[in-house]
Amino acid sequence: MLGWTTPRVVALCAAVAAVVSVATTLVVLRVTADDAVALPAVGVPTGVTSTVAVAGGARLDLPALFGQVSDGVVRIETTACVLGGAGTGFLVAPDLVVTAAHVVEGAHAILLRRDDGTEAEARVVGLDSVHDVALVRSSERLDGHVFRFAPAEPAVGSDVAALGYPLDGPLVPVRRTVTGTGQSLDVSGPAASAGPDQVVRDLIRVDGGFEGGDSGGPLLAADGSVVGFVEGRSLADKNTGYAVSALQAAPLVARWRTLRTTVDVADVCDAPVGPPQSRVVVRDESGPGPGAVVADFYGTYASAINSGRYAEAWGLLTTNARSGQTLEQWSAAERSSQIFDVAVRQVSVVAPGADPTTAAASPSAPAPAAGSPTRTPGGTTSPATPAAPVVTPGEGGALRAVVDFSSTQEDRLGPGGQTCSRWRVTYTLLRADGQWRIDRTLLAAGYPQPC
């Protein structure tokens, strides 16, 4: 593979938003093998629902509970040797996230994302495949609700709330009813990671299934305490779900959270890829001007790279940016790249092109309402002056944009052995055939920097 220190490669890789490959991980979003009939220690028939109050007399108020704790739940994305994936996790400290082991098992790169655009890299602190429990440490402090584990199993018949990111969508709360505790689930199959007998024990069973992406999401009692977290759904009955018990997870997490070291859980392969629907949110911080155009373009471009849709990203480069490489050569260098925390800092119009589009005001700096008075430095008022129109270049036009972003990569491939790098790149974008494309890049002095 081409070295990151080669000037031409640095320029090209900056153009494609990653300098080196990121090896990755295996993420299983649901129980993927046939599961056996649950072996109940305590339980009621699957599918039985109830509105019985939990111990203490509290009833589950799902909307209120969601509003109180939702900012403590994160989406977890990884790259993988076969295919990357996504799951859910929850804060037990500002920099510690609990999830199911199968969400991060095999991971080289782990990204934490929230619906508000917050993003951070993470590393595995502890992982127990037998009980399907993992703890990861965020590279940055995440402000939000910090969860605590419940001291006892939920009562059979009690309502619980499950929070997760199903099917690449936003964070969703669902109500479930506990139908059994002390369950055993056979997860035998090629994706199993439950130990020699491939049976996960002491699970909580609920009367509803879960979707891909829900794995690792918290299962909450009415008081907001964590009674468990999502393991998966039964393939024998799609209306039955299972969760890892907090009683099994709590001692493991308590032991791991004091550790300052991390665990290498990476699988070994040459061509890891990210989740099939990894979405990159780009912040436009450029002020008045066509920054929203750049943010939209770059979000599409980076999402294609993160998701392994390399032909799509390749189509967003001009012949000049491709530097004589073939799609296969370029894809090999980008195979495991994961891009996050992207912000457009500055944008200028290089050439307006033919038939430019004119907007009344920049999305990042709305004009005052027509006729609204404005205050002069002397304190008097005068009729408002309409905001200058924002010109978005048309066909043949060009923009120059300064973009900051982070990328993850294997330490053996990263600049200076970095596993997470911060970039500042100036892009020249050209518009032709109704499409923006990257034409030139310039890496800022002093970059890349460690995250």
- Nearest CA to 406 out of 111, 79, 37, 33 is that of 111
Choose the catalytic residue: 21, 35, 102, 186: 102
- Nearest CA to 216 out of 302, 279, 306, 124 is that of 124
E strands present in 376-434: 381-383, 390-392, 398-408, 420-432
Q: For residues 94 and 218, give the distance between their C-alpha atoms in angstroms, rounded to a whole number.
A: 16
237 counts as catalytic: no
Beta partners for residue 99, in sequence order: 134
132 counts as catalytic: yes
Choose the catalytic residue: 138, 139, 158, 215: 215
268: how many CB neighbours lie within 10 A of its CB? Answer: 9
Instruction: Output the DSSP codes for 276-303.
Output: TT----EEE-S-SSTHHHHHHHHHHHHH
Rounded to 10 deg, the angle between the 7-15 and 327-334 helix axes is 80
Contact predicate 444/425, CB 8 Å:
yes
Q: For residues 248 and 375, give the distance between their C-alpha atoms in angstroms, rounded to a whole number.
A: 64
Q: Which helix (H) or strand (E) holds 334?
A: helix 327-334
In the numeric block, which tokens belong to residue 149?
């584990």
Q: For residues 395 and 351, give the distance between their C-alpha atoms in angstroms, rounded to a whole number.
A: 10
Choose the catalytic residue: 35, 108, 132, 284: 132
Using CB atoms within 10 A of its CB, is residue 447 exposed (0-12), middle (13-18) or buried (19+)? Answer: middle
CA atoms within 13 A on the CB side of 445: 0
* Unique residue bearing structure tokens 């900051």: 404
Please state whether 202 falls in left (phi above 0), alpha (psi between -120 and 50) or beta.
left
**N residues, the chain:** 451
Q: For residues 100 and 78, give the distance between their C-alpha atoms in angstroms, rounded to a whole number.
A: 13
Q: For residues 70 and 65, give the distance between their C-alpha atoms in angstroms, rounded to a whole number.
A: 8
Using CB atoms within 10 A of its CB, is residue 300 exposed (0-12), middle (13-18) or buried (19+)? Answer: middle
Q: For residues 206 and 344, give the distance between their C-alpha atoms in angstroms, rounded to a whole number.
A: 45
Report the catalytic residues.
Answer: 102, 132, 215
